[in-house]
Amino acid sequence: MAEPSDDARELLARYRSARVLETRARACVHARLVASIDGSLVPDRRRLVLTVAAVALATAAAVVLAASWWWDPSQAVATPSPRDDAAMFGHDDGTPRQTVIQPAEPPPRVAALPTADPGPATAPIDDVATSSPTPRSIDGASPPGPIPAPIPALAPATRGPDRVLAQELALVRAARLALDVGDAAAALEHLATHSSRFAEGQLAEERDSVRVEALCAAGKGAQARAEAQLFVRRWPDSTHAARMARACPR
Amino acid sequence: MYRDHADFVLRVACQFGVGQAHAEDVVHDVFLVVHRRLHEYDGRSLRSWLYGITRRVVAHHHRGAARTRRREHDHAPVPRPIADPEQRAAMAGAVAIVERFVATLDEAQRTVFVLADIEGTPIPEIAEGLGLNLNTVYSRLRLARRRFEAMLVGVRSPEVRDG
């Protein structure tokens, strides 16, 4: 295939150097981004806590219902079939429906949580990205697909810096998931693996911020605060800097 | 990621017709989406992924801008063709020429031309990121390059330029 002419290359190079964010605009957009991200963290955390609370309530309600059935003499005559179980617990797989837990003091926003947005200004943008985050559909050459497959399945097919990023992402994501389910030790292990393999990786900043949270969750408050200070010094412009500054209070 | 790719996102936004003033809003919105959706990134071409997000954020932006224009009965001015040789030589001329050209391409050729020739993304990476056959990408790029060279001849030819 014919390469672009020298004129074309020169013009495109000039274009690339001309169409950039100026220093001031770059800093300004970054500051707005930090504020937006920082502002959206609290609702995310609250959403997680409320979701966990809803699951706990549902489990408790199921246990109470099961126990009351078990000790009810009128039910002891016949052994219930799986279908009876389904009818009692609300659906076929034996787990309680949301309606079962409603009387058991449900949090007022639980029903709306899965679709709740952190803020009205950003919600439509999220929707835009959710429809399909890759540009594959614009060519019509590939059918529009669901959310991309998990990283581990696709990582072998990737190459170069993006493959490395995928590996980094898998480790940081695993740490975040472990932390979200309360396994701080596992989170720290994933982060240590990331640190040894990608000391200066693209997600080093993210890794260090999650590590502060994991240390705090593991009860190592002093170390968490010390590393939080280091984080702010190392990444003063980070989107996590404000959160780190107030991480793990005494 | 912001540091490395903010300019790329800005260029793509402008190529989709977003003005410089609003392009910064688009850059902000794109990286906000990236922050929230990073866990969905599948490890393929990062630029292709960012391109797709930018394209959708711009579409969203245009819909909002269209509503605003309808409300205000305001119509954006049509960019004037560049005729002045000095202006053509300037950076602004390069921006106008390239973005005007990109706007004439269909979506398929535009995506490949932008990612390959403007941003320097390797062709195999583009093919993988877009889920396309390698030959398809080469074919689209060949057509786009041919049109770009023809456009350059027209821009540099006084007879063509001045009509």
Three-class HEC string of chain A: CCCCCHHHHHHHHHHHHHCCCCHHHHHHHHHHHHHHHHHHHHHHHHHHHHHHHHHHHHHHHHHHHHHHHHCCHHHCCCCCCHHHHHHHHCCCCCCCCHHHHCCCCCCCCHHHHHHCCCCCCCHHHHHHHHHCCCHHHHHCCCCCCCCCCCHHHHHHHCCHHHHHHHHHHHHHHHHHHHHHCCCHHHHHHHHHHHHHHCCCCCCHHHHHHHHHHHHHHCCCHHHHHHHHHHHHHHCCCCCCHHHHHCCCCC
Give mean pLDDT, residues A101-130. Answer: 42
Say what the pLDDT of residue A66 is: 65
> What is the band of B148 on the pLDDT scale with cuts at 50, 70, 90?
very high
Please, which residues have CB within 8 angstroms of residue A75's CB and are 6 or more apart in sequence? A69
Predicted-complex ipTM score: 0.79
pLDDT at A1 over 60: yes
Q: Which residues of A touch B51 (CB under 8 A)?
A: 135
**Cα distance from A41 to chain B (closest Cα, Å)?**
10
Say what the pLDDT of residue A203 is: 87
Question: pLDDT tens digit string along A166-183?
Answer: 888 888 888 888 888 788
For residue B30, give the nearest of B61, B57, B59, B62 by alpha carbon.
B57
pLDDT at A136 over 80: no
Distance of alpha carbon B65 from alpha carbon B97, whole angstroms: 24
Say what the pLDDT of residue B140 is: 94
Q: What is the mean pLDDT of chain A?
A: 67
In chain B, residues 10-29 whose CB comes closer than 8 Å to chain A: 10-11, 14, 24, 27-29
Question: pLDDT tens digit string along A229-239?
Answer: 888 888 887 87
CB-based contact B60 A125, cutoff 8 Å: yes
Say what the pLDDT of residue B7 is: 93
Please, which residues have CB within 8 angstroms of residue A44's CB and are 6 or more apart in sequence? A118
Question: pLDDT tens digit string along B115-143?
Answer: 999 999 999 999 988 889 999 999 999 99
Q: Which residue in A12, A17, A19, A159 has the most chain B C-beta atoms within 10 A of its own C-beta, making it the best mutation to test that interface?
A: A19
CB-based contact A135 B152, cutoff 8 Å: no
